[in-house]
């Protein structure tokens, strides 16, 4: 039995798939292009219609891959892309957005994020994003790698329309649970979890392995299921093959029970104090 794909609501009321597809380090190797294309298309067929990318990924190569691989499927997709910090205001922001649109072969980016905080004043970024939204070039905007104090400054700069914060969040990186995620929940802003399996660097023994065996799953699937159980988290693992994207989708069929969650909390303790938000 396949569990229906749950959706997460953005602040503007739009519903997006809770499980999407990341594309970091895709579109860089021509020998992998056929497999990457097949994986992206199969993911969309499985309901993983949120596609995350960035102008940084492969110097635009990932965006070009998406534009080519998903041609003819645009109306099914929710495309997320990210802008470099140095391009996050004024004419540079508009130019970066238009270049991403060209590479993606589309007339709109559904959700456009500031990749991480740089030297451009947040007020300029907020104003630039609002202009792009008015012009129809983007549907919504948000940020990435913003800690709690960064979010406070964003709201003070007029950023009440922020739709999401894409952060490094997984079993090994739970610091955001202390203050960032509760603050976002108060404002009804969902988080987007990147590197949800810590780039494959999960423990090879212990509770995670034991739980995986009980569920006849991989440790990666358990790590995804742990995140996917949360109603306000969007999870964006990368998958460069059909087999991998199918395995990611199957993580939705795993129902972790109280004993599983308690064992994971014992092995990967939730934070008891503030820790700076990590990023990759």
Active site includes 84? no
Continuous segment of H or E residues that includes residue 114: strand 109-114
CA–CA dist 113, 88 (Å, integer): 9
DSSP label at 112? E
Catalytic residue among 57, 112, 169, 194: 57
* Residue 256, SS3 per DSSP: coil
Of 172, 166, 147, residue with least CA distance to 271: 172
Of 83, 79, 86, 48, residue with least CA distance to 65: 79
CA–CA dist 239, 253 (Å, integer): 18
CB 109 within 8 A of CB 145: no
Sign of the torsion formed by the C-alpha atoms of 232, 187, 126 and 134: positive
Of 173, 162, 163, 164, residue with least CA distance to 199: 173
Q: Which residues are catalytic?
A: 57
């Amino acid at each position: 039995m396949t569990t229906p794909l749950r959706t997460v609501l953005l602040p503007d009321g739009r519903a997006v798939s809770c499980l999407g597809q990341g594309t970091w380090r895709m579109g860089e190797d021509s020998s992998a292009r056929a497999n990457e294309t097949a994986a992206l298309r199969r993911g969309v067929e499985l309901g993983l219609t949120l596609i995350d990318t960035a102008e940084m990924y492969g110097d635009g190569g990932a965006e070009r891959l998406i534009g080519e691989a998903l041609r003819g499927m645009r109306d099914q997709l929710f495309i997320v892309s990210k802008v470099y910090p140095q391009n996050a205001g004024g004419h540079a922001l508009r130019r970066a957005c238009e270049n991403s649109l060209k590479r993606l072969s589309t007339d709109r980016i559904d959700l456009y994020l500031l990749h991480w905080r740089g030297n451009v004043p947040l007020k300029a970024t907020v104003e630039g994003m609002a202009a792009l939204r008015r012009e129809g070039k983007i549907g919504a905007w948000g940020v990435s790698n913003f800690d709690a104090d960064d979010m406070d400054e964003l709201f003070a700069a007029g950023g009440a329309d922020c739709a999401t914060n894409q952060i490094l969040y997984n079993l090994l990186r739970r610091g955001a649970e202390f203050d960032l995620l509760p603050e976002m929940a108060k404002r009804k802003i969902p988080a987007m979890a990147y590197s949800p399996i810590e780039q494959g660097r999960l423990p090879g023994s212990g509770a995670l392995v034991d739980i995986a065996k009980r569920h006849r799953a991989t440790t990666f699937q358990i790590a995804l299921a742990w995140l996917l159980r949360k109603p306000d988290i969007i999870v964006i693992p990368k998958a460069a093959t059909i087999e991998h994207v199918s395995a990611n989708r199957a993580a939705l069929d795993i129902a972790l029970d109280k004993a599983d969650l308690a064992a994971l909390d014992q092995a990967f303790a939730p934070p008891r104090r503030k820790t700076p938000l990590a990023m990759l």
